[in-house]
Amino acid sequence: MATSPLSTSASPADPQGTAAAEAQANIHVVCAEPSIANHFLAELRDKEVQKDSLRFRRNLQRLGEIIAYRISAHLSYTEQTIQTPLAETRGKLLHDFPILATVLRAGLPFHQGFLNYFDQSPSAFVAAYRIEGTAQVQVQVDYLSAPSLDERVLILADPMLATGKSLVQTYRAMLRFGTPRQVHIAAVIASPQGLAYVAREIPEANLWVAAIDEGLNEQAYIVPGLGDAGDLSYGSKL
Ligand SMILES: O=P(O)(O)OC[C@H]1O[C@H](OP(=O)(O)OP(=O)(O)O)[C@H](O)[C@@H]1O
Ligand SMILES: O=c1cc[nH]c(=O)[nH]1
Ligand SMILES: [Mg+2]
């Protein structure tokens, strides 16, 4: 797929650099246009609504479903004869279900949204975490389970794209399972610099995000963001 380097330069009229990102053919910002996705994202960010962790996980799932639907327009379908109870007709069936990869923990509800639509897809799981106590964010990839990726469509989904290191290291580690023929990377919220890093390091990927935020704080959390997606989904960890 055709790609070009990303420059997400923010301007006063476009503080989040969304227009610049959208100008890139391979970057899709789902909440740049009015749709119910904006409502789900607003609820995800709201610290009062976040107290309901069931709703938080469900909203991640619903955004996974919406992005899955958008990606589905880029997949191939085969026309087949279908027998209804009344007559024969023709239908278009997805013949090559994508491999759905995600990063523990926060990726799990988002992944479920993709799986709800691509219900015959195999899954791949990765454990990646930030190493504490380092000046710069460093990410350790620990556990990886995946089918062969050779010649497959791969969708790698992780709700938070902060520095982008988790996604880049995860993708590189996954390549030992083969070379996909089409790659989609999906996140709910991205920082401009993280998105630029992923676009630069994985130029073959189509990038799908619900929103691009202003930037990162000193802890490399996305601002305004939503906080810690893993903790909000599953509780704080020691
Ligand atoms: O772009 P990066 O700077 O690499 O950060 C993004 C990572 O942070 C979150 O996971 P987190 O480390 O909070 O783990 P958790 O899901 O277990 O809470 C998120 O789900 C990404 O995997
Ligand atoms: O903003 C952020 C950054 C990393 N992980 C999160 O859950 N949120
Ligand atoms: Mg976390």
Question: Which ligand 2 atom is the nearest neighbour of the CA of 230?
Answer: 7
What was the pLDDT predicted at 23?
Answer: 65
Question: Model confidence over 210-230: pLDDT tens digits?
Answer: 999 999 999 999 999 999 999
ipTM of the complex: 0.97
What was the pLDDT predicted at 12?
Answer: 53
Contacts (Cβ under 8 Å, ≥6 apart) of 136: none
- Binding site membership of 141 for ligand 1 (Cβ less than 6 Å): no
Q: Which of 137, 100, 102 is closest to 120 using CA atoms?
A: 100
Omega prior to 224 cis, within 30 of 0: yes
- Indicate if the alpha-carbon torsion angle 145, 151, 156, 161 is positive or negative: positive
Question: Model confidence over 62-85: pLDDT tens digits?
Answer: 999 999 999 999 999 999 999 999
CA distance linking residue 180 with residue 204, whole number of Å: 10
Q: Considering only 17-31, 61-75, 109-123, 193-207, which range has the smallest mean pLDDT?
A: 17-31
Question: Model confidence over 2-58: pLDDT tens digits?
Answer: 333 344 444 555 655 666 666 676 999 999 999 999 999 999 999 999 999 999 999
Domain ranges of the chain: 18-233
Question: Which ligand 2 atom is the nearest neighbour of the CA of 220?
Answer: 3
Contacts (Cβ under 8 Å, ≥6 apart) of 139: 128, 129, 130, 131, 165, 166, 169
Residue in the block written with tokens 């030992």: 176
Question: Model confidence over 155-193: pLDDT tens digits?
Answer: 999 999 999 999 999 999 999 999 999 999 999 999 999
User: Where does ligand 2 bind, in terms of residues with CB under 6 Å?
Assistant: 106, 160, 162, 221-222, 225, 228-230
- Binding site membership of 198 for ligand 1 (Cβ less than 6 Å): no
Question: Which ligand 1 atom is the nearest neighbour of the CA of 103?
Answer: 22
Q: Is 44 exposed, middle or buried (0-12, 13-18, 19+ CB in 10 A)?
A: buried
Number of the ligand closest to the Cα of 229 = 2
Q: What is the DSSP string of 112-128?
A: HHHHHHSTT--EEEEEE
Number of the ligand closest to the Cα of 158 = 1
Ligand 1 atom 9: residue of nearest CA: 160
Question: Which ligand 1 atom is the nearest neighbour of the CA of 234?
Answer: 18
Kindly give the distance from the C-alpha atom of residue 56 to the centroid of ligand 2, in angstroms, as a whole number.
14
Q: Are 94 and 80 in contact (CB under 8 A)?
A: no
Mutate to test the pocket of ligand 1, among 53, 158, 160 (most ligand atoms within 8 A of CB): 160
Ligand 2 atom 5: residue of nearest CA: 228
Question: Which ligand 2 atom is the nearest neighbour of the CA of 223?
Answer: 1
Kindly give the distance from the C-alpha atom of residue 157 to the centroid of ligand 1, in angstroms, as a whole number.
12
Ligand 2 atom 6: residue of nearest CA: 228
At the top level of CATH, the class of 18-233 is alpha beta
What was the pLDDT predicted at 190?
Answer: 98
